Amino acid sequence: MSRVYNFSAGPAVLPEEVLKEAQADLLDYKGCGMSVMEMSHRSQMFDDIIKSAEKDIRTLLNIPDNYKVLFLQGGAYQQFAAIPMNMMNKHHKAGYVLTGQWATKAWKEAKIYGDAVALASSEDKTYSYIPDCSDLPITDDMDYVYICQNNTIYGTEYWELPNTKGVDLVADVSSCFLSKPMDVSKYAVMYGGVQKNVGPAGLVIDIIREDLITDDVYPGTPTMLKWKTQADKDSLFNTPNCWAIYMCGLVFKWLLRNGGLAEMEKRNAEKAAILYDFLDQSKLFKGTVEKKDRSVMNVPFVTGDKDLDARFVAEAKAAGLENIKGHRTVGGMRASIYNAMPKAGVEKLVEFMGDFEKKNLR
């Protein structure tokens, strides 16, 4: 049977050696007689796991000392509420750049807690581009400016951060998290649901500048959603997602062993170039995103014929190319080529696309 390549934009595609290591520890963690899933989060063994994970992600991203790393439950979606609850505490106003479904959902959630202003949007062209963010209508009374840095569904990515005019920048980096070096100091808050590129679903990693972690929060903020609650207990206020934290820790070590984020950036750019180069010369397939805003992680494309798209998805699946169907709002296909996707997987996809094109061009 030929190898299966998973192009899913949802559950993480993890490196094979990480999965093998995790499989062993699922039964018996370092010969201690219990699995990681059984041990207490208050135990010394788990304390070593979470501290090692934090140390490694700080190394990978060169996180400044005045930023706190939090391993939180609820995924990125829960931060849509946690961010305004913790940050709309001065002027009760924030700006949002709407570049897709997740930024829009975050904006709508923030409107519950204050004046959430849509600074710019690319909805007019089905979020197929990043709006010009060089001179956004940002005002001094905004507590923060919010972006979704890589848009999974629509395949766009910010290649230059917005000019926030001195206002704190908050970014959902879920789909580009740990895919390349990032200057953490340019953000007030950077957070990512780990299920795209780092680990199992259900965990979000927040990297927060410490001066933003205070008791001055939206009235009625639940104890669990206060960043200070979590920061004061080093992410151990209550039982965290122990297994996901452990898995992320393994991925961090894999990244460090494989050249760190600079090497990941190089590999990911090479993989994306293979696919985009094919799309640019194809007579059947075309990308749906403006070239200057193309994501390296998520590549949507179409044939222009819905029936042909459906046939491609079915035949791709039969050929071992899984989860290639695009989101319903875009249609067509989407290849998510995260860190663990090998170059061979992208080459296999392009080879299949070439064969499909030859058979179906009229």
Which residue among the candidates 102, 107, 243, 254 is catalytic per the annotation? 102
Average confidence (pLDDT) over 152-179:
97
Q: Is 159 a catalytic residue?
A: no
Which residue among the candidates 68, 180, 196, 325 is catalytic per the annotation? 196
pLDDT at 362: 67
Percent of the chain past pLDDT 70, that is, above it, reads 96
Residue 1 binned pLDDT confidence (cut-offs 50, 70, 90): very low
Q: What is the pLDDT of residues 262-271, one digit of tens each?
A: 999 999 999 9
pLDDT over 80 at 79, yes or no: yes
**Residue 181 · residue 262 · CB < 8 Å:** yes
Q: What is the pLDDT of residues 187-230, one digit of tens each?
A: 999 999 999 899 888 899 999 999 999 999 999 999 999 999 99
Cα 67 to Cα 64, 178, 287, 324: the distances in Å are 6, 17, 38, 37
Q: Is 108 a catalytic residue?
A: no
d(CA 249, CA 227): 22
d(CA 354, CA 66): 50
Mean pLDDT of the chain: 93
pLDDT over 60 at 141, yes or no: yes
Average confidence (pLDDT) over 57-66:
98
Average confidence (pLDDT) over 146-151:
97
Which residue among the candidates 25, 168, 172, 206 is catalytic per the annotation? 172
d(CA 183, CA 186): 6
Percent of the chain past pLDDT 90, that is, above it, reads 79
pLDDT over 50 at 26, yes or no: yes
pLDDT greater at residue 240 or residue 41: 240
Q: Is 196 a catalytic residue?
A: yes
pLDDT greater at residue 16 or residue 357: 357
pLDDT at 27: 64
